[in-house]
A = this chain, B = another copy of it.
Amino acid sequence: MAENQKIQQIDCTKVPEPTLRRLPWYLSNVKLLKQRGERFVSSTQISKEINIDASQIAKDLSYVNISGRTRVGYEVDALIRVLEHFLGFTEIHKAFLFGVGSLGGALLQDSGLKHFGLEIVAAFDIDPTLVGTHLNGIPVYHSDDFLKKMEEYDVQIGVLTVPIEIAQCITDMMVDGGIKAVWNFTPFRIRVPEDIVVQNTSLYAHLAVMFNRLNFNEIK
């Protein structure tokens, strides 16, 4: 276990973000091959399925601690295990969610996140009709209780689903309280100290790209 962790940590320091974003594609593809009864898989096979260059796949997989056999490829079970571990999906990372509005409430309902390593253990809001209730079994506390709850729970991640006008102020509060990574679902670009991780997932930015491309295709 200690050795595994060491290997993972050394690898971690050099993984580019595009690789990290592609690895889950390979994982889901290999899972599918496993369901079909395959025991071995090559980067060429994955390449055919998902239309990414085989050499790119081999290069991406070189960051992960697994080696394939010539002409046989990677062992499917091992590749799934190693990828899931490498991507952090096998370990539970506890998170707080801030802002139980429409999107925040929806994320609390999504138990699927837990299968990928994220467990939202509590949520915060100031709405008196929400504070003190549970959503999908997750307690909603008043934002004023955040520091107290940081002592109770072992949490490093904050999920940000508040209105844009308080996005920065809630981020500052999180960071001051000891949160190390912010998963920002707001369309607002938050500022954080250098050692804090920010992952932006703006559904609205994705919608804008989709609408634009759709419109572009229509007039072609």
> Which of A's residues lie within 8 Å of B, judged by CB?
8-9, 12-13, 15, 17, 20-21, 23-25, 27-29, 31-32, 35, 50-52, 87-89, 91, 93, 101-103, 105-107, 109-113, 116-118, 156-157, 164-165, 180-181, 183, 186-189, 191, 195, 197, 199, 201-220
Contact = CB atoms under 8 A, between A and B. Distances in A.
Given A17-B209, A189-B29, A207-B118, A215 B12 contact: yes
Contacts of A109: 102, 105-106, 109
Given A12-B215, A113-B207, A205-B20, A191 B51 contact: yes
Number of this chain's copies in the assembly equals 2
B181 A195 contact: no
B107 A112 contact: no
Contacts of A32: 164-165, 188
B28 A180 contact: no
Contacts of A29: 188-189
Which 3 pairs of residues, A with B, have the shortest CB-CB distance? Answer: A88-B211, A106-B106, A102-B112
Nearest to A26: B189
A93 B181 contact: no
Nearest to A194: B217
B12 A204 contact: no
Contact of A157 (B8, B102, B111, B210): B210
Given A17-B209, A207-B88, A188 B9 contact: no
Contact of A199 (B181, B189, B209, B219): B209
A206 B214 CA distance: 24
Contacts of A220: 195
A123 to B, nearest CB: 14
A165 B208 contact: no
Nearest to A31: B164
A212 B15 contact: yes
A174 to B, nearest CB: 14
Contact of A117 (B31, B183, B195, B211): B211
Given A28-B187, A87-B211, A213-B197, A106 B110 contact: yes
A45 to B, nearest CB: 14
